[in-house]
Amino acid sequence: MRYVLPVVGALLALSGAVWMFQGIGLLLGSPMTSQPFWAVAGAVTLVVGIVVFVFGLRRARAR
Q: Which residue has the higher pLDDT, 60 or 5?
A: 5
Question: Which pLDDT tens digit goes with each residue over 9-57?
Answer: 999 999 999 999 999 999 998 899 999 999 999 999 999 999 999 999 9
Q: Concatenated DSSP letters for 6-63?
A: HHHHHHHHHHHHHHHHHHTTSS-SSTTTT-HHHHHHHHHHHHHHHHHHHHHHHHHHH-
pTM: 0.91
